[in-house]
Structure 1
Amino acid sequence: MEKAETFLNYGVLDGAGNKVGKGLKEILRPVEKDLAGFRRYIVAKHAQEINTQKMSTGIRKEDADAVAAGAPFQYRQTLEDLVKYQDAVLNQLVEARVMTPQSVKAMREKCPNSYPFTGSFRRTRKRPRAF
């Protein structure tokens, strides 16, 4: 749990313990007063990616495009930082042999702006539910 807490609260560390990336709390700070708006933006960006693959998301292309185009700069910057964070987490999973480099590469190619670790984390002993 220590490594996860470090990623969340302090930042991404290299093998020598040096901070090389922002932590999740730091990344979300610029949008913390409008998380609902930021969520709409990242859902719209993900819908755009899925739409280019000729798959349906249930979100109209026009709606996704409008939300993404109208998003404030801090949403774009926060998503960029979130993707870097996600890449660092994925790299840790590869190093721990939880995921293969090939599966991570495929994920990144298919949906580069997606944030796949979304779920409901209730304070129970049950496993998290993925959406």
Structure 2
Amino acid sequence: MCYYDNYQYACRDWKWGNFRMHCQKEYRTGETCGMKMIFQTVPLNEKCTQCEKIEKKKRRRQKALDDIARWERDGGKLQASIEKARDDVRALEAEITAMIAEKDRRYATIGNTRRAA
């Protein structure tokens, strides 16, 4: 149970930081016991990379939806472009849903390990 910094993002995600202190189990110099405990939590104002990727995909999806609406208002002459944009929106929605589900699964796993300990 060696101690590490814990960085907490604004989006509730976190990551392990630098090593801070040995525990009583480890007596060898330069070695850690393998179990990580929080020495201190450092709040960060930015979002994690996963959230930034999700937001980027949401912006791309919104731009495609805006393009579709604009092309349909202009008379729907660009049918191939509209269909391609709709396919892109469906693909982006699937990717966003998968990324959010992965993030939620990670939080559920952490919550289960905390309850079991």
TM-score by structure 2 length? 0.35
Higher strand share: 2
TM-score by structure 1 length? 0.32
Question: Which of these two proteins has the greater Rg computed from alpha carbons?
Answer: 2
